[in-house]
Amino acid sequence: MNIKAVHIYPHFLSIRKNEEILLSALKRKGLSLCNFVLLLSAAFLIGGAFVTNDYPQLSSFRRTYSPKILGLHTVNSQHNVTSQCETPCKPRGSETLPRGIVSSTSDLKLRPLWDSHNTKSSNSTNLLAIPVGIRQKDNVDKIVKKFLSSDFLVMLFHYDGNVDGWRDTEWSDHAIHVSAINQTKWWFAKRFLHPDIVSEYAYIFLWDEDLGVENFHVGRYLSIVKEEGLEISQPALDPNKSEIHHQITERDRKSKVHRRIFREMGGGFTCNENSTSPPCTGWVEIMAPVFSRASWRCVWHMIQNDLTHAWGLDYQLGYCAQGDRMKKIGVVDSEYIVHSGSVTLGSVANHEAMGKTVQSTSHQSVPDQPDTRSLIRNESFAQWRIFLHRWRKSIEEDHCWTDPY
């Protein structure tokens, strides 16, 4: 055996080892094929350069066989053509298509069945998505009219399955209707508001249906959000008329926007100037959040497919704030709403009505009606615990992730 070949062989083993390491990274991290090929090419180029510098007689071998090892089948005579085709990786699944025909995003705009290219249609730049039941029809009608007048596209999530009940509204034909029985807005959002579908919209309002908007102006709100640089926000709640769950959402009459609170929270916990985390700062409630396009792309990935009540999500929204959550998340006080706290999904056992039924038909027994609202609340708490467990586990397992806070 040639002595130099014996000495050279370990270098090829080293290159092969680099390939195995990259393959392992591909499986572990879920790298795309394009990124993997780039990394693998770099490993061979570095390794090949090392071998060639030490053994010049192998330069011809590297030119001939390295491309075959990589599976790129590059021919030196085609170098100029290949260099012209060096472009970023295509979206997964579109590799066999010419780049110009690839359409990676979509929108929710309604299109006419004919004469579409000669029809002028307004381009809505923002989106309102709201879960609705027919019992809240009057209030939803007020909300939708206010947003449509500000050039919003409106998407209704019908959790009671009653779509026909909305046909008599003047705006029904201009809205997107999606129906699924007894599903939450986060179930709908995960399935129908993919970032690539709503990428056209600068802001996404993902609101509940029981919000009063008498003192809310959409245009002024958006101007404030842009001026303040808020990526995630919500309008403040009128403390005199609203059901308040978290004190940071309460309106401050002396402020245009607030990003933190200073007060006793109970249990010996105090929010003060040294507080750096929710619920003292960097926090909004999932009842009426407003997301920028960039923050929503992050939030959508954090929504768990099976945890449809999304409890606990609000405490982690700061990781999607596109910067410091103490600056990029805020509550707008000058444009405020009312949260009525109406029961929507689920029902509460109406014992008074049951009592009247018993009096009128005393010879009949009245079966107990289940308090499904309590069951839903218990499920929400259970999902919160699961979400917290997943969050902690993901931190432990992702050794490349660094907590910015």
What pLDDT, in 10s, does the model give residues 116-144?
776 666 678 999 999 999 999 999 999 99
How far apart (Å, rounded) are the C-alpha atoms in residues 244 and 341?
Answer: 9
Higher pLDDT, 6 or 307: 307
Q: What is the pLDDT of residues 73-124, one digit of tens each?
A: 544 555 555 556 655 688 888 888 998 998 888 888 888 888 777 666 667 8
How far apart (Å, rounded) are the C-alpha atoms in residues 32 and 91?
Answer: 10
How far apart (Å, rounded) are the C-alpha atoms in residues 173 and 171?
Answer: 6
Residue range 122-339 in CATH 3.90.550.10: yes
How far apart (Å, rounded) are the C-alpha atoms in residues 147 and 149?
Answer: 5
- 3-state SS of the chain is CCHHHHHHHHHHHHHHHHHHHHHHHHHHHCCCHHHHHHHHHHHHHHHHHHHHHHCHHHHHHHHHHHHHHHCCCCCHHHHHHHHHCCCCCCCCCCCCCCHHHCCCCCCCCCCCCCCHHHCCCCCCCEEEEEEECHHHHHHHHHHHHHHHCCCEEEEEEECCCCCHHHCCCCCHHHCEEEECCCCCHHHHHHHHCCCCCCCCCCEEEECCCCEECCCCCHHHHHHHHHHHCCCEEEEEECCCCCCCCCHHHECCCCCCEECECCEEEECCEEECCCCCCCCCECCCCCCCCEEEHHHHHHHHHHCCCCCCCCCCHHHHHHHHCCCCHHHHEEEEEEEEEEECCCCCCCCCCCHHHHHHHHHHCCCCCCCCCCCHHHHHHHHHHHHHHHHHHHHHHHHHHCCCCCCCC
Q: Are 289 and 206 in contact (CB under 8 A)?
A: yes
How far apart (Å, rounded) are the C-alpha atoms in residues 303 and 25?
Answer: 26
Q: Are 248 and 288 in contact (CB under 8 A)?
A: no
Largest CA distance in the chain: 107
Taking the mean position of all CA atoms in its chain, how far away is CA 207?
A: 14
Q: Which pLDDT value is given to residue 344?
A: 77
Q: How do the domains of the chain map onto residue ranges?
A: 3-75, 122-339
Q: Are 308 and 314 in contact (CB under 8 A)?
A: no
Higher pLDDT, 365 or 205: 205
For 330, residues 6+ apart whose C-beta sits below 8 A from its C-beta are 228, 230, 233, 257, 258, 259, 284
Q: Which two tokens stand for residue 397?
A: 């397992």
Q: Are 281 and 259 in contact (CB under 8 A)?
A: yes
Q: Which pLDDT value is given to residue 85?
A: 67
Q: Which of 340, 203, 208 is nearest to 287 (CA)?
A: 208
Question: Tokens 């040639």 belong to which residue?
Answer: 2
Pairing of strands 329-339, 232-237: parallel
Q: Which two tokens stand for residue 344?
A: 């929507």
Question: Is pLDDT of 172 > 50?
Answer: yes
Kindly report the average pLDDT of the chain as a whole number: 81
Considering only 57-66, 192-201, 204-213, 376-385, which range has the smallest mean pLDDT?
A: 57-66
For 10, residues 6+ apart whose C-beta sits below 8 A from its C-beta are none
Q: Which pLDDT value is given to residue 153?
A: 96
Pairing of strands 126-132, 152-158: parallel
Q: Which two tokens stand for residue 390?
A: 């997943």
Residues in the chain: 405
Q: Which pLDDT value is given to residue 25?
A: 52
Mean per-residue pLDDT, 247-256? 94
Q: What is the pLDDT of residues 343-395, one digit of tens each?
A: 777 754 443 333 333 343 344 444 555 678 889 999 999 999 999 999 999 99
For residue 333, the tally of other CB atoms under 10 A from its CB is 19
Q: Which of 153, 40, 38, 46 is nearest to 106 (CA)?
A: 153
Q: How far is CA 325 from CA 273, 318, 321, in A?
A: 15, 5, 6
